[in-house]
Structure 1
Amino acid sequence: MSVLKDQLARTDVLNRLRRAEGQLRGIQRMVEEGENCLKIGQQFSAVRKALDSTYLRMTVCFLEQELNTRIQPDAAQKTDLDLMLKDMETLLARIG
């Protein structure tokens, strides 16, 4: 079973999800109060971006966890792996 084991990574993902949840509640309020559709649309876009970013972060954390478990890199390789994963996360964030 694939589980995100790193507590810091889990906390980061959960905090991001809580922020997105707050944004969604804000959108609900905007709809209830009859806010302008363009403003609501901007908020939808922000929530989608937040969720996409959270998904990417979770995926990279999981990938790092699994690579470290399977290849058990030494300190130099671990540094290289961390840099590569950070670069990959930056590149993938630009896709959306």
Structure 2
Amino acid sequence: MTVLTDADARTEVLNRLRRAEGQIRGVQRMIEEGESCLKIGQQFSAVRKALDSTYLRMTMCFMEQELENCLQPDESQKANMETMLKDMETLLARMG
């Protein structure tokens, strides 16, 4: 089983999740306070986007970690791999 071992990546993903958690609490508060469905819907959309981008970031971190473990690139290959991963992240982000 793959585990996210990079401490910085793990911290980044957790921070993104904490922000999304705060947004969800905000939606709950809006419902409790009787906000309009339109405003609540806008916040739901923001939460979904935040979670989607967090999932994408986590996936990219796993991919980078696993590629580095499998390929163990030298410095010239590492730059190429970083470019390839950035391109993949851009393509995957457009799928949502």
TM-score of the two chains, using structure 2 as the length reference: 0.97
Moved more, 53-62 or 85-94: 85-94
What's the CA shift for 1:91? 1.5
Shift of 1:87: 1.2
For residues 51-91 of structure 1, the C-alpha deviation after alignment (integer angstroms, 9 at most, x for no partner) is: 00000000000000000001111101011001110111112
Return the TM-score normalized by structure 1.
Answer: 0.97
Structure 1 stretches of at least 4 aligned residues deviating more than 6 Å after TM superposition: none
Q: Which residue of 2 aligns with 1:83?
A: 83
Aligned positions of 1:6-85 closer than 5 A: 6-85=6-85
Number of residues paired by the alignment?
Answer: 96
Distance 2:87 2:15 in 1: 23
Cα RMSD for the two superposed structures: 0.6
Deviation, 1:41, is 0.4
Structure 1: segments with no counterpart, 5+ residues: none
CA distance in 2, matches of 1:95, 1:66: 22
Q: Distance in 1 between matches of 2:31 and 2:20?
A: 17
Identity of aligned residues (%): 76
Superimposed CA distance per residue, residues 3-54 of structure 1 (whole angstroms, 9 cap, x where no aligned partner) = 0000110011000000000000000000000000010001001000000000
Residue in 2 aligned with 1:92?
Answer: 92
